[in-house]
Amino acid sequence: MTDYFHLDATQETIGGISNLGLAHLGDAVFELMVRSWLCLHGKATAKGLHRAAVRYVAAPAQAAAVEKIRPLLTSEETDVFRRGRNASPHSIPQNASREEYQAATALEALFGWLYLNGRCDRLNELFGRMMEE
């Protein structure tokens, strides 16, 4: 049985996933981290949790948070980020500019890539930096 929380994907498999595929997975990873962070920081009601989560996972918020971690990225992470930023999404949400959406997609691709590589320590490090006030 496959353990989907602790994947053992080969570099060949990971390399075969499209940038938008990495972003799709990374979106879920980021949202799970945000939801966990919110629960651990006292957001109690479902309505409050949802509203707070939307604030953090929206493209403009992700784009702003990216600026906190860009200087910390390794060259390999920067390459994944760049490829994610250059992916061609089919549409852009009304509440985000093209630049914000590209930065958010890049962040999500990076988080997807780190997750597939089993780099949970690095995910936690970057996420922690992003959530600092």
Catalytic entry in 3, 27, 79, 121: 27
Helices 59-69 & 120-131 angle (0-180, nearest 10): 110
Tell me which residue has tokens 């972003």. Answer: 23
Note if 27 is an active site residue.
yes
User: What tokens does 64 get?
Assistant: 């702003």
Nearest by Cα to 54 from 95, 18, 23: 95
- Between the two ends of the chain, the Cα-to-Cα distance in Å is 41
> Residues with catalytic annotation?
27
